Structure formats: C-alpha cells, structure tokens
Structure 1
Amino acid sequence: MSSSEATRTAPTPAPRPGTDARQAGSIRLDRVVHGYGRGGEAVTAVGPVDLTVPAGEFLVLVGASGCGKSTLLRLIAGFERPTGGSVRVGGAEPRPGAAAGVVFQTPRLFPWRTVRGNIDLALRYAGVERARRASRRAELLARVGLEGTERRRVWEISGGQQQRVAIARALAAENPLLLLDEPFAALDALTRERLQEDVRRMSERTGRTTVFVTHSADEAVFLGSRIIVLTRGPGTVAMDLPVPLPRGDVDAEALRNSAEFAELRAHVSHAVKTAAAA
C-alpha cells in the first residue's frame, strides 16, 4: 500500500474543544498562489485565489482543462502546500487524510481485494474498531447502492460500481469534507447521471462540505449549491455563482428539464468559454 493511499484514510482528529464539528468542514483560501518548476521553467498554475466555503456547502469548481481546478483540490486536501498565501480547513492547515476523503478520476482500488477488502482496509486506516467494521461497511455499501457485492472482486464489477466503491472508501473515515476530482468523467452518460444524483443526495443527508471538480457546465449546475468558474491558467476566480435551484428530495429528471436549469447551464457554459478565452 502506498503512503498516499494510507494517508488518505487516516483517522480523523477530534474537533478542538468548543468547536462545532460541522465547522471543521469550512474552507478558507487567502491569496493562494501555486506554481511548479524553478527559475526560467517556473509556471504559475493557480492564483491569486481568495475563497471562503462555509461548512455544509456543495462547491463546484468548473473551467477548461489546465485552469488549475485539480491543483486547488490538492491544496485543499493537503497533498500540496501553496507557494504563496494560505489554505485553512476548519481553521487549521490541512493534513493529507485528516480533513478530507478524496475521490479521483479513476477508482484506484486494489484489484486483488474484494469490495469488502477495499472498504475494510479504509475502515482500518480510519481507526474503526474491528468489531464495528462489518456494520459500518454494510452502512457504506447501502449508502452507495452496492448491497450484496461484498465478496465480488474489483474486476467483476462495472466501472460505475467501482467508482461507487471509491466513494464508499472516501466516506469510511467520518471526515467533515469530501473532495471529488472529475470522478465520473470516464463513465457512460446514464451511469454518470445516476451517480450525480447519488452524490447530490448523499451530500444533503450527511451535511459534509463537498468540493467537486468538473469541466461540465451541466454537471456543475446539477450538483452545486455554488459554482466557481476559473480563468485559464493561472487559474483565478472569474465567476462566483450561488445556485438557486431546489435541493433535498427533488425529482432529478424534472430538475434537469426545467427552464431554470437550462438558463443556468447556458450562463455557466458561456462563463466558462469566456474565462477560457480571456
């Protein structure tokens, strides 16, 4: 097991005394800049970016390829340190695995393990006692709609099901923050829509702060309670848009077909194209 896999599911630290547990999911970026390389080969990928995300919000970062969406996500996860400015999650500098569960573009499961084995490993690194793992595993599998798959190998389930396992694994540690980096990009349209609906419902039920990276205006409008459009690299905030669509238990098909949805999608799509061309 790689160190990155291990740290991604590390035990969640207890909230500081006097701190509401939900506030641990708040995010603040102050004048954040991040670049790669040195000297004449230095490239600024992001910044400066100022951003405040209250606990419980579903924030979507959208923009053209290369605008720094994934870089911002890695900074929030604590996988990288900014070269300028500061990142705070729950008021503290983020540590990999301590504040967030992360889902990547590919599931990154262990193919030699069963569905059960992949989730149990995450539960183990999350510090869940052995006696509680079976019930917690069953709860996670039910949450992502994979009841009855515990004994199946990774290569015996579909790509969409593999991504559901990856989401369950990210939820194994009860972190206040869930980060998703284009997790449905490689899936067919029907599976993608179903998983979008699942993630939207899960966010509402758990109350976790969620940051979702995509290049799709349609996906951004359906999922987000707030959308940030980034300019082309170095990525800065081109638009900060609250999404006034209903949340909670809604008819997903009716929502997608509504005039309000179509208007917002067109607005975000235009903003993305304008930001990419600027």
Structure 2
Amino acid sequence: MSSVEATTTPAADSATVEQTGGIRIRNLTHRYGRGPGTVTALGPIDLEVAAGEFLMLVGASGCGKSTLLRILAGFEPVRDGQVEVGRAAPVPGVGSGVVFQQPRLFPWQTVGGNVELALKYAGVPRELRAARRDELLARVELDDTAARRVWEISGGQQQRVAIARALAANTSLLLLDEPFAALDALTRDRLQDDLRRVSAESGRTNVFVTHSADEAVFLGSRIVVLTRRPGRIALDLTVDLPRSGVDPDELRASARFAQLRREVASAVKAAAA
C-alpha cells in the first residue's frame, strides 16, 4: 500500500459537535447595510464541524468566506440564524485564536514579547510564561528567536509568530484568513507543512479560508466550497488523505491528491459561474 493511499475521515455529526465542543451553524444568513442598499453576503447556511477537523472554506472573492470566519470569531454579530462555538455564541477574543493574512504583530515588542502578551491575556501566570513562550516558538520552528525584533525576521517567520501567538490562547478553535496568500511559493509550502504538523499535534479544530484548491486539499480534512454571493454551500467534501506519517512532497505528487484538487477546482469554477 502506498503511504499516500486514501484513509477515511469521519464527517461531523450532532452528537460529536455537542459532546466535544465543535461548531454548529443553523440557517445562518448575513446581510450588510439597510433598506434598498442591503447586500446579502452569506446564506442561508447549515454546517456542523466536529472537534479536531481541519475545515477549508474555498470560493471566489466576495462569496462570504471571510464573513463566515469573522462570525465564528465573534467579530460580526449573528442577526439571522444560530451559530455556536462549543455550546456558546461566539465572543471576540474568547473561544478561538485568529490568524490574519498579515501577521499584525506589535512592532515595539520582541518576537517573544508578542507571544508572552498573548499568554498574559490567556491568563498564564507570569512565572510560567517564558517556558510556555519557548515551547510555542519551538512548535513553529522558531527556537532562539525570542529576543529578536519583529523587523529582524522574514515575512514567513513573522507569520509563524502570529500562529504561535494564536496557539498561546487555551482555545479549542483556530481561525485562519488566507494567512499565506502574500508569501512566496517556497515559504508558503514550508508554512503549510508546518501548520499541517502543528494541527496534528494540537488536536484543535481549524477553519481556514483560501482561494487555492491545492492548499485546500493539502491542509484540509474537509473542504466546503461556497457559491458566489450570497455564499451558500456548493460542495462539502471529506478529504480521504492521510493526516500524518507521509512525506508532504509525496502527498502532493500522489494521484489521489491531483484528483481531489481537480474536483475542488471544478466545484469552485462552477460555484462562481
């Protein structure tokens, strides 16, 4: 059997969502503006995500991917429908870590200072922060960078710091909004490898927004493609590729990877038409 031969990943079900604190979305619609200028950006959407899943949201620009992510983060209010992260409505800064397209680090802080500040807000005692900081930086392969200034490290390294900072919070959900879109191809591939590994180690639920079918198939255990505005679910696909114990380059070169990538790319194109 090839090391990239398909393995199955169970889809979410209601019992799993309730018991382990996944995501539950019921009849969600989101609109911007009022009166004649109202724009329906999203919905209606029904979706359940089990704890530990790596969900990729894919679709053309303007389909509502980032809107849905902001709703899950608590940055946008839920006015029509129901959204639960765990068993509660989303609250900004509570229940999830967020990584944006740009690192958004504090330039007046060192690399370690950025992570320690997140640990402070997460309630980690002062005497434990240095050890936890070093552990998180090691997890994203940034050992011995704690004392360096933000501008002294590369863009890819800055994005790793942003991921470490998001992991600093004791949350079960990590939300990522195209965090690798502005990076060069080699750095992007390296960070995808890192994130896939960190995700497998942490066991957190991940929701990741992307335009890329290739990125979606490589990172995701499940892919949801949204239609053009208002975004609705056009495809909900379980990715039956191994999550560990396989070389990333071998995985990307496998026939099953190529088949899934074509299926997702075709669905995105059809959904945007």
Both structures adopt the same fold (TM-score exceeding 0.5) = yes
Output the CA distance in 1 between the equivalents of 2:26 and 2:119: 33
- Paired with 1:214 and 1:59, the residues of 2 have a C-alpha distance of 11
**1:15-54 paired onto structure 2 within 5 Å:** 23-24=20-21, 26-54=22-50
CA gap of 1:123–1:20, structure 2 versus 1, over 3 A, is: farther
125, 135, 138: which one aligns with 1:139: 135
1: distance between equivalents of 2:217 and 2:17? 29
1:105 aligns with 2:118: no
Cα RMSD (Å) of the superposition?
A: 1.4
Match of 2:241 in 1: 245
* Separation in 2, partners of 1:20, 1:275: 28
Counting aligned pairs with the same residue, the percent is 69
Residue 186 to residue 47, structure 1, CA distance change in 2 (3 Å):
same
CA shift, 1:80, in A, is 1.1
Take 1:108 and 1:136, find their aligned partners in 2: how far apart are those partners?
21
Question: 1:154 & 1:40 partners in 2: Cα distance?
Answer: 46
* Structure 2 unmatched ranges of 5 or more: 1-15
Preserved CA contact (<8 Å) 1:59 1:211: yes
What is the aligned partner in structure 2 of residue 235 from structure 1?
Answer: 231
Tell whether 2:141 aligns with 1:163.
no
Alignment of 1:160-199 (within 5 A): 160-199=156-195
Residue identity opposite 2:40 in structure 1: T
Hey, what's the Cα distance between the residues in 2 that align with 1:69 and 1:63? 7
Contact 1:31 1:49 in 2 (8 A): yes
Q: What code does the residue aligned with 2:231 have?
A: G
Asked whether the equivalents of residues 17 and 24 of structure 2 are also in contact (C-alpha less than 8 Å), the reply is no
For 1:152, the aligned partner's letter is R
Counterpart code for 1:143:
R
| Aligned counterpart for 2:218 among listed residues 218, 222, 225 | 222
Shift of 1:94: 1.3
- For normalisation by structure 1, the TM-score amounts to 0.91
Q: Contact (CA 8 Å) 1:46, 1:236: kept in 2 or not?
A: yes
- Shift of the alpha carbon at 1:21? 11
The CA deviation string for residues 23-75 of structure 1, in whole angstroms up to 9 with x for no partner, is 13x00000000011010111011000000001110000000111000000011
Match of residue 264, structure 2, among 257, 263, 268: 268
Paired with 1:184 and 1:20, the residues of 2 have a C-alpha distance of 29
- The gaps in structure 1 that reach 5 residues or longer are 1-18
Q: Tell me the equivalent position of 2:56.
A: 60
Give structure 1 regions of 4+ aligned residues with deviation exceeding 4 angstroms.
19-22
What secondary structure is seen at the aligned counterpart in 1 of 2:168? Answer: coil
Q: Tell me: CA distance 1:233–1:20, structure 2 relative to 1, closer, same or farther (3 Å).
A: closer
Q: How many angstroms apart in 2 are the aligned matches of 1:269 and 1:82? A: 30
Are 1:72 and 2:68 counterparts? yes
Task: Tell me the SS of whatever aligns to 1:140.
Answer: helix
Cα distance in structure 1, aligned partners of 2:162 and 2:18: 24
- 8 Å Cα contact 1:22-1:56 kept in structure 2: no
- Check conservation: 1:22, 1:176, Cα contact below 8 A: no
Amino acid at match of 2:115: I
Offset at 1:20? Answer: 11
Q: In 1, are the aligned partners of 2:57 and 2:224 still within 8 Å (CA)?
A: yes
CA shift at 1:83, angstroms? 2.5
For the residue of structure 2 that corresponds to 1:171, the secondary structure is: helix
Residue of 192, 206, 211 corresponding to 2:207:
211
Confirm whether residue 81 of structure 1 aligns to residue 77 of structure 2: yes
